[in-house]
Chain A
């Protein structure tokens, strides 16, 4: 025991205990808020992408990292949120505070419809079911685009245009999502998820309804993802089926693998990694002078390197970036004693 005791319920549910933690956190917040004034437009755009991606990544982490269910329909859910926003905008000129909850509702409904059949069972049936979700949603989206004449996509008027405003909006959204998830995980639902991830039979024996827990994980995750999709639509100002491919799903899966399963921090770290990775490869190639010669194969190098990195993390570093972070942190904490 380190000497920090919790003496009342309020302290028990607090996320930060010690004064040192609170001080570091305050510094972190100040740095975050200073970002849009300190960096150029390129990095600001990357920061915005990271914040937006983190919402989807946290949603997927809840489902796969904590409740242990594989979903391959992430792009479909993002598309559902984005298209709900686009359709409501075009048909009813709906404002932002209508489309956001509507997207969440659509996401939750899809989660219910596609989750019910597959979550009664053990195994990988959710993965299969969500694959069906992906194709069906994309098909519906393409039908809408064609039937209403938006063959190059649906243009959406965004309430925010300045990148700095977007930064703060996305920062708020991301923070809310993370807080929501952290609290959810510490609640009864979250504990039920951890139990079913561990051993389903034991969880059932303890009185946790496994089916309900899995379903709640999928519905909540889908609602969050659809909200991310809605924000996507406003951020880009544009919705079209081509933007939601299976590769997008794989990128999100990579975010949680690389970040480290079973950790919200992992979701954020994974997002940072996946968003910056292609730019890092480009910079590396440019700096090493191979840029010009290999410019036509940069994509392939990116792709292959991406797959390689995922495999590396799965096989050698299953705890992901979070695992590395924890090792580094523990090394500092225990210094000068050696970590065993």
Chain B
């Protein structure tokens, strides 16, 4: 125990000492653990991008230091990490890339220290929508209610007959809330929701849920959940002989999965451009990933890159010497050019810490060309009160 204390005592002051001549930001993320595959790529891509900037002279001539602490999606560890980052490392901006159960402790800590809290990998809390909480910001792709609006708009536009809508979600409160919203919305758009299936997370076989959905004979199904529930419901329905079209949210692994499933009626909707777009920025992503030796497939890195670019712009607008207040002022009016990674720039205002416009694209697999293809190009939705 004594040795342990001495090791800890050595490690901590060393870390604090180096913070003086760099922009310091801190991240608490689910880097390891069962849900890490959704969050770790985001954090590592963002860190790699900022390291890449450091290699080219940094921001405003100064380096950026990113301190990443693993909270394993546990609220108590997130609280401890937040305390350490704020008190010990004196970070300018606190980031969260972890499960929603870690939000409240981090929000409490950030409020106490009056440091902005930026959600970079996980679902955006309602407090970032206008009217926004002064300290909470979010750049993550998915947006509650907005996603369903865009999805149902796509379905209505692309359906040749009257839409009989099936809905599927995993039995977690966030997904259920979204699907319930979609159900209500679909009725106002002239669609008929015929069946809604909520499947509990550890289901050994999705066929019973798919059977119930299939019996209602929907021609379209919209699903918004963690990827496993979305794709397994779809696969089970196909095995039952269902021929309709399935629209679902594009998670980090969507591009890979489209190539695996190879079904032209399986659509994914999302806000982050896919590699098939082959933009110059994608070459940059590949280069940065290769240099940093990231263990994740390149298609998983867009979200993290977006976060990195947002941070770059924010810190550029933060005059030296930086303080959390100056960073906050920069975040309250920033417009970031994402170079095509999303449908348009990301803009935060004092009132709107989510973004002023959300852009959606829809993709599916094109069997003739044997590649991922766009089913619909960027459609914008304004984010208002």
Contacts and interface: CB of A to CB of B under 8 A. Distances in A.
Q: Do chains A and B touch in the complex (CB under 8 A)?
A: yes
A334 B208 CA distance: 68
A142 B199 CA distance: 13
B4 A152 contact: no
Contact of A151 (B7, B33, B44, B176): B176
What is the interface residue range for chain B against chain A? 35 or more
Contacts of B84: 42
Interface in B111-136: 112, 123, 125-126
A15 to B, nearest CB: 26
Interface in B39-80: 40, 44, 68, 70, 72-77, 79-80
B177 to A, nearest CB: 4
A145 B173 contact: yes
Interface in B149-175: 171-174
B8 interface: yes
A70 B31 CA distance: 33
Interface string A229-242: 00000001110111
Interface string A254-272: 0000000000000000000
Contacts of A175: none
A49 B76 contact: yes
What is the interface residue range for chain A against chain B? 35 or more
Interface string B216-238: 00000000000000000000000
Contacts, number: 103
Nearest to B9: A283
Contacts of A145: 173
B374 to A, nearest CB: 31
Contacts of B177: 146, 149, 151
Contact of A142 (B7, B74, B75, B172): B172
A299 interface: yes
Nearest to A149: B177
Interface string B77-91: 101100110011000
Interface stretch (A3-11, A185-193, A290-298, A311-319): A290-298
Contacts of A40: 87-88
Interface stretch (B17-25, B95-103, B348-356): B95-103
B36 interface: yes
A241 B173 contact: yes
Contacts of A41: 83, 87
A243 B75 contact: yes
A45 interface: yes
Nearest to B144: A151
A253 to B, nearest CB: 17
Contact of A152 (B68, B125, B176): B125
Interface string A276-294: 0011101110110000000
Contact of A153 (B10, B76, B100, B112): B100
B32 A300 contact: yes
Interface string B1-31: 0001001101100000000000000000001
15 contacts: A152-B126, A152-B174, A155-B104, A161-B112, A238-B103, A238-B104, A240-B100, A241-B173, A242-B100, A282-B70, A295-B31, A296-B32, A299-B33, A299-B36, A300-B32
Which 7 interchain pairs have the tightest Cβ spacing?
A: A299-B32, A238-B104, A151-B173, A151-B177, A242-B101, A145-B173, A151-B174
